[in-house]
Chains A and B, each alone.
Chain A
Amino acid sequence: MHRGRTLLSVIAIVTGLAAGGTVLDSWALVRVATREGYLASDPASATLRVDSAPAALLALVRAVPGVRDAEARRSTTARLTANGTTLTAFLFTSDDPSARRIGRLRGESGDWPPGPGAMTVERSSVEFSGVAVGESVRLSVGDGDPVDVRVSGIARDVGLAPGWMEHVVYGFVPWGTLRALGVPDRANEIRLVVQDGSLDQTGVRRVAFAARDALQAAGLRVTNVDVPVPGEHIHAAQMDSLLLTQGAFAIMALLLSAFLVVNLIAAMLAGQVREIGVMKAIGARSGQIAALYLTVAGALGVAATVISVPIAIVAGTRYGALKADLLNFDLTGYSVPLWAIVLQATVGVLLPVAAALFPVLRGCRMSVADALRDVGIRDDASPPRPVLMLGGMSRPALLSIRNAFRRRQRMVLTLLALSSAGAVFIGALNLRRAVRGSTDLVFDSQRYDFSLRVSERHDPDSLTAVVRAVEGVAGAEAWSGATATIDREDGTLGNGFSVLALPDSSTLFEATLTGGRWLQPGDSLALVAATGLERQEPDIVVGSRLRLIVAGKAAEWTVVGTVAGGPAPTAYVSREALAGFAGRGAGAVVVRAAIAGEASQLDLIQRTRAALAEHGMPVASSMRLAESRRSTEDHLLMVVDFLGAMAWLMLVVGGLGLGSTMAIAVLERTREIGVLRAIGARDRSVLLLVQAEGLTIGLLSWAIALPLSVPMSLLLGEAFGRIMLPVPSRPFPDAAAVGIWFALVVVVSLLASAWPAWRAMRVPAARALAYE
């Protein structure tokens, strides 16, 4: 008799449980995989960039107190052409990559390690680049001659940010290939692991700087020291924040699904009031009756758990795999830990029982006399005054609206589910706009079409003179850069960031100030920090003075302003200021093309490279702005979509909630509907009555979602800031978001009340007379 409603409740609990379980399972899986997979690879604690790393010096590093092991490798930036497209490649070379002890690699298919003249591609770069095992790709470095190498296998390096995300092809090549490419066959990185696995970032940094000092004492130049957060994959913190946010919504969905159980049990009780009265009259105690209904709720929970746990395992494994893909992990061989399943089962069984307690306790308190007197139309809580004051419409319309307000508790819960779904939906759309807006902000300041990196520094004026002479170039500027680190008072150094020096009257960079001012002629050691740097170094505020080591030389700098920028930590300084540290030479040229279109710009890039090479200034790499913009945006929007997915989840639960609310309303008002039929209500009238009631609740939830979306947008923006990067908050919905959500709510309301309306239509007029 309550088959439909039971089904709805089970579906709702399954939805909530499966969603929560999916998030939990994927989190547990990724955690296990990171722990075991990432840590098992023995990731590098620190990486030192050096000129060369003779074996004797490696022994020197290993002897530094606190260092457990050290290895050398060379990383080379190259250009890779496959299937007609040219991409940036990072090539890694070490003596025997398969014997690497730090950041261990694993061959996945084909040859491992790569033989002479061959290359092994890192797993995460395979799909997006389209390279395939057995095919040849063309590599070139700087203006060296291109070399064709065969892709002979695929390996995985769990320590790398995924190639598809970074738009970079990672490859492992032997020394011989580097020689053929014209690259010196010496290592340029020393990677070390510390002895004490419990050290934090600062502790590791101390050890790494001791190693740097030892190397410098031996006469080696160390240009950069990079120390990641120990034991954590590059993107692990982001993933945790994402899963945490999603988990919060899943729990909300789960709690709302519990409300369907409340509805179901209330419906059962409504239909059995007289039976309960009779049972009580013949001596059943309240406890016995309560136990009966709680058992039903428990059984529902068991049924829902049995269905949802496997769904969560499958979906969680898939979602986990997606996450793992983002972290460049492989989940094969790992399974969802038992504790996660036990937790889901416990919640799944107990939650419905807890939810059922509300109506059961209320039902059992009803007196025998009241229960047995259950005859006429139920005159339950009447609608609030303002709703009664409504006028100017037909009685059926009035009836629909007033009926919606009849059971306020139930309505509030339904509204809560639907309007929070709306708030998340609108919030996610706002976030999407905010993200778009902030990438706009970052890229709007870049007024060039592509950038070229030259192999060695050159005089800025000679660089721009050559480039401006190329046909199709509308403007060119030479930018110079260096790496810098903050020299903290406690003697530790911060992570490296880049310092960019632009010409005084740059037209190809237009800063969007977020605080302070831009650089002025006459500024001495002044810098302007971009968003990414502010995030990395929270001490940086306008007016603060910092001790920086720029290109190896320490000095005190003043922060004069902040500008909007992407996630990469960057600071802007004047050419004169940087010249005192890194010389006047510029390493990059940014170019504005006179013509648009990908093909013609690629052609222009080729011609510019040729012109520079002809003048003895070979180009190492080039990047189109549009391309880097797309990869940044893809990256960010994917996380927005993950958050937005929660809105759909809530909408499903909200829709089910509305459906069950309408179904129970129809059940409770069977006699009333019978009366309506007896006094002449046609099928269509009854159908409309119920649909309009559902629609009333839906539209109300829409109206509530609008103001609710403001704090939700801020909340999502906050979460996004923690996961990815801070974006300017956009708390107010635009017309499109409001309109789309309106349409969704109308559709869901009509769908949700369709079945109850159908049931109402089937109520015979005879129910008006039946008192039995």
Chain B
Amino acid sequence: MTNSALASATADNAPLIRLRGVTKTYPGATAPFTALDDLSLDIRAGEFVAVTGESGSGKSTLLSLVAGIDRATRGEVRVGATAVHSLPEARMAEWRGAAVGIVFQFFQLIPTLSAAENVMLPMDFCDRWPARERRDRALALLERVGVADQADKLPSRLSGGQQQRVAIARALANDPPLLLADEPTGNLDSRTSESVLSLFGEIVSSGRTLLLVTHAPAALRHASRTVALADGRLVSDSRA
């Protein structure tokens, strides 16, 4: 989606993410397993939403449906003007590359590319910026997340916190309006976690929307809204 489409969506004060009666059923080994059960949820642009819940409650499933990584069995998933649930597979990757930035628990940087190259990779896929501007842009993003001095190192030479910062820079590569993060601090010590969470806070204040799955109570303090899931249902929704 384009930035102007996003702008008009925000101007209407319509929610950026709109889930309606979303159900996700996995074909289990014995019986089908319902990971999300008739979930409806609206998230407005600029919100920092923490998603919590027990293990197996459906948090990651929710994230993957919003990211278009997986498809809902029933219901509607809209992000801005895009109906993600019905987007043809061929267009999905393209949309995702431009509209969503994803941060993973295990960082998932490409081990054979340097930090800067990892950040440039989504730009290469998306092709929104001219090739010769990409490196400068990557360096600016690394600067912004505080690891500019590590730009030319391979991920294996970086600490966990540094790797996660590079991963965040990569998620921001194509300037997506929406960031999704699945337990991004799950593999970091508490001090590093805290600084990564502050970074997320700054990113949200600069006008982005963040959906952050977390187990860590510390994370909730940074969020503007907390959504709790249990057995695939929404059990609480509170704003700070």
A contacts, CB < 8 Å to B: 375-380, 382-383, 388, 394-396, 398-399, 402-403, 406, 671-672, 675-683, 685, 764-766, 768-769, 771
For chain B, residues 96 to 146, give those with C-beta under 8 angstroms from any C-beta of chain A.
Answer: 96-98, 102, 104-113, 117, 120-122, 124-126, 131
Alpha-carbon gap, A681 to B102, bound state (A): 13
Please pick, from A376, A764, A769, the residue contacting B60 in the complex, using a CB distance under 8 A. A769
Q: Of residues A678, A685, A764, which shows the largest number of chain B Cβ atoms within 10 Å of its Cβ?
A: A678
Which one of A378, A402, A685, A769 lies within 8 Å of B113 (CB-CB)? A402
Question: What separation, in Å, do the CA atoms of A396 and B122 have in the docked complex?
Answer: 10
Q: Which of B10-18, B62-70, B192-200 contacts A (4 or more CB under 8 A)?
A: B62-70
Q: Which of A672, A685, A764 contacts B110 (CB 8 A)?
A: A672
> Considering the chains assembled together, what is the distance between the CA atoms of A375 and B126 in angstroms?
28
How long is the Cα–Cα vector from A768 to B171 in the complex, in angstroms?
Answer: 14
Enumerate chain A residues within 8 angstroms of B170, measured Cβ to Cβ: 679
Give B47-72 as 1s and 0s: 1 = Cβ < 8 Å from A's Cβ atoms: 00000000000001001100111100
Contact A679 B156 (CB under 8 A): no
Q: How far is the CB of A363 from chain B (nearest CB, A)?
A: 21
Q: Verify B69–A680 contact, CB threshold 8 A.
A: no
CA of A676 to CA of B96, assembled, Å: 11
Closest chain B residue, CB of each to CB of A397: B124
Say how far B108's CB is from chain A's closest CB, in angstroms: 5
Q: Are A396 and B156 in contact (CB under 8 A)?
A: no
Q: Is the CB of B110 within 8 A of A675?
A: yes
Bound Cα distance from A65 to B104, whole angstroms: 97
**B112–A399 contact, CB under 8 A?**
yes
In B164-213, which residues have CB < 8 Å from any A CB? 170-171, 173-174, 182
Residues of A within 8 A of B171 (CB): 679
- Bound together, the chains give a CA A522 to CA B17 distance in angstroms of 109
Instruction: List, sorted by A's number, 26 A–B pairs whose CB atoms are closer than 8 Å.
Output: A377-B109, A379-B111, A382-B156, A394-B131, A396-B121, A396-B125, A398-B113, A402-B112, A403-B112, A406-B112, A672-B111, A676-B125, A678-B96, A678-B102, A679-B96, A679-B170, A679-B173, A680-B93, A764-B70, A765-B68, A765-B69, A765-B96, A766-B70, A768-B104, A769-B60, A771-B105
Complex contact A769–B90 (CB within 8 A): no
B94: Cβ under 8 A from any A Cβ? yes
Task: Report which residue of B60, B106, B111, B113 has the largest number of chain A beta carbons within 10 angstroms of its beta carbon.
Answer: B111
Complex A-B, nearest 7 residue pairs according to Cβ-Cβ distance, in ascending order: A680-B97, A376-B106, A402-B112, A765-B69, A680-B125, A379-B111, A395-B121
- Interface check B154, CB cutoff 8 A: yes
Q: Taking A377-B111, A402-B112 as contacts, is the C-beta distance between A769 and B117 under 8 angstroms?
A: no
Complex Cα–Cα for A766 and B96 (A): 13
Q: Which residues of A contact B69 (CB under 8 A)?
A: 677-678, 764-766, 768-769
Q: Is the CB of A678 within 8 A of B67?
A: yes
> In the complex the two chains form, is A680's CB within 8 Å of B131's CB?
no
Closest-CB distance, B14 to chain A (whole angstroms): 25
Residue of B nearest to A380 (CB): B111
Indicate the member of A376, A378, A399 with the most B CB atoms within 10 Å.
A376
Does B161 touch A at the CB level, under 8 Å?
Answer: no
Contact A399 B96 (CB under 8 A): no
A765 touches B113 (CB 8 A): no
- Bound form: Cα–Cα A678–B106 in Å: 14
Across the interface, name the chain A residue whose C-beta is closest to B69. Answer: A765
B125 and A679 form a contact (CB under 8 A)? yes
Evaluate whether A680 and B112 lie within 8 angstroms (CB atoms) in the complex, with A377-B106, A765-B93 already known.
no
Q: Contact check, A395 vs B104: say whether CB atoms are below 8 A apart.
A: no
Chain B: how many interface residues by the 8 Å CB criterion? 40
A277 to B5, CA, bound (A): 50
The smallest beta-carbon distance between A257 and chain B, in angstroms, is 29
Least CB distance from B99 to A in Å reads 9
Partner of B125, one of A380, A681, A764, A771: A681
Bits for B76-108, please: 1 = Cβ < 8 Å to A, else 0.
Answer: 000000000000001001101110001011111
Q: CB within 8 A of A769: which of B97, B155, B174, B182?
A: B182
Q: Which residues of B contact A678 (CB under 8 A)?
A: 67, 69, 96, 102
A383: which of B60, B110, B112, B122 is its contact (CB, 8 Å)?
Answer: B112
In the assembled complex, which residues on chain A have CB atoms less than 8 Å from the CB atom of B122? 679-680
* Cross-chain contact of A395 among B68, B93, B120 (Cβ < 8 A): B120
Which B residues are CB-close (under 8 A) to A671? Answer: 108
Report the separation of the CA atoms of residues A678 and B110 in the bound assembly, to the nearest whole angstrom.
13
**B106, A682: Cβ atoms under 8 Å?**
no
Q: Report Cα–Cα, A391/B150, bound state, in Å.
A: 18
Tell me, in angstroms, the Cα distance from A513 to B33 when the chains sit together: 89
Cβ of A681: which chain B residues have Cβ within 8 Å of it?
93, 97, 125
* Complex contacts, A680 vs chain B, CB 8 Å: 93-94, 96-98, 122, 125-126, 174
Q: Which of A382, A765, A768, A771 contacts B111 (CB 8 A)?
A: A382
Determine if A682 and B112 form an interchain contact, defined as CB atoms under 8 angstroms apart. no
Q: Which residues of B contact A768 (CB under 8 A)?
A: 69, 102, 104, 108
Give B67's nearest chain A residue, CB to CB: A678
A675 with B104, Cβ < 8 A, contacts A402-B112, A406-B112 known: yes
- Do the beta carbons of B154 and A382 come within 8 Å of each other? yes
Distance from B215 Cβ to chain A, minimum over Cβ atoms (Å): 14
Query: Contact at B112–A382, with CB atoms within 8 Å?
Result: yes
The answer to whether B125 touches A685, judged by C-beta atoms less than 8 angstroms apart, is yes
A769 to chain B: which residues have CB within 8 Å? 60, 63-64, 69, 104, 182
A679 near B113 with CB under 8 A, answer no
Docked Cα-Cα span, A580 to B154, in Å, equals: 88
Q: Looking across the interface, which residue of chain B has its beta carbon closest to that of A678?
A: B102
CA of A396 to CA of B131, assembled, Å: 13
Question: How distant is A385 from chain B, measured CB to nearest CB, in Å?
Answer: 11
Instruction: Please give the distance in Å from A402's CB to the nearest CB on chain B.
Output: 4
Q: Choose one: A406, A679, A764, A771; the contact of B102 (CB below 8 Å).
A: A679
Please indicate the chain A residues that have their CB under 8 angstroms from the CB of B96 in the complex: 678-680, 765
CB nearest to A765 among chain B residues: B69
Complex Cα distance, B70 from A396, in Å, reads: 24
Least CB distance, A89 to chain B, in whole angstroms: 72
| C-alpha spacing A383/B110, complex, angstroms | 13
Q: Which residue of A lies closest to B155 (CB)?
A: A379
Chain B minimum-CB-distance residue to A680: B97
Give the distance to chain A from B135, nearest Cβ to Cβ, in Å. Answer: 10
When chains A and B are docked, how far (Å) is the Cα of A187 from the Cα of B48?
113
Interface residue from B68, B98, B106, B124 paired with A396 (Cβ < 8 Å): B124
> Bound state CA distance, A765 and B64, in angstroms?
9
Given A382-B156, A764-B69: A677 and B93 interface contact (C-beta under 8 Å): yes
Most chain-A Cβ atoms within 10 A of its Cβ — which of B108, B112, B120?
A: B112
Q: Assuming A395-B117, A769-B182, what are 6 further A-B pairs, CB within 8 angstroms?
A: A395-B113, A676-B121, A679-B122, A680-B98, A680-B125, A680-B174
Which residue of the partner chain A has the closest CB to B99?
Answer: A680
User: Which residues of chain A come closer than 8 Å to B60, judged between CB atoms?
Assistant: 769
Q: A377-B106, A765-B69 are in contact. Are A679 and B112 (CB under 8 A)?
A: no
Residues of A within 8 A of B105 (CB): 771
B182: A residues at CB distance < 8 A = 769
Across-interface contacts of B102 in A (CB, < 8 A): 678-679, 768
Contact partner, A399, options B63, B107, B113, Cβ 8 Å: B113
Determine the chain A residues whose CB is within 8 A of the CB of B97 once the complex forms: 679-682
Contact A399 B110 (CB under 8 A): yes
A615 to B24: give the CA distance in the assembly, Å.
Answer: 109
Assembled-state Cα–Cα distance A375/B186 (Å): 13
Closest to B131 in A: A394
User: What's the Cα separation between A249 and B98 when bound, in Å?
Assistant: 53
Nearest chain A CB to B55's CB is how many angstroms away?
11
Could you tell me the distance between the alpha carbons of A589 and B98 in the complex, rounded to whole angstroms? Answer: 88
CA of A680 to CA of B175, assembled, Å: 13
* Closest beta carbon of chain B to A220's beta carbon, Å: 87
Q: How far is the CA of A396 from the CA of B174 in the complex (A)?
A: 16
- Contact residues in B for A672 (Cβ distance below 8 Å): 108, 110-111
Candidate in B69, B94, B107 with the most chain A CB atoms within 10 angstroms: B69
**CA distance in complex: A680, B70 (Å):** 14
Chain B residues whose C-beta falls within 8 Å of the C-beta of A403 in the assembled complex? 112
- B156 to A, closest residue via Cβ: A379
Q: Name the distance in Å between B41's Cβ and chain A's nearest Cβ.
A: 19
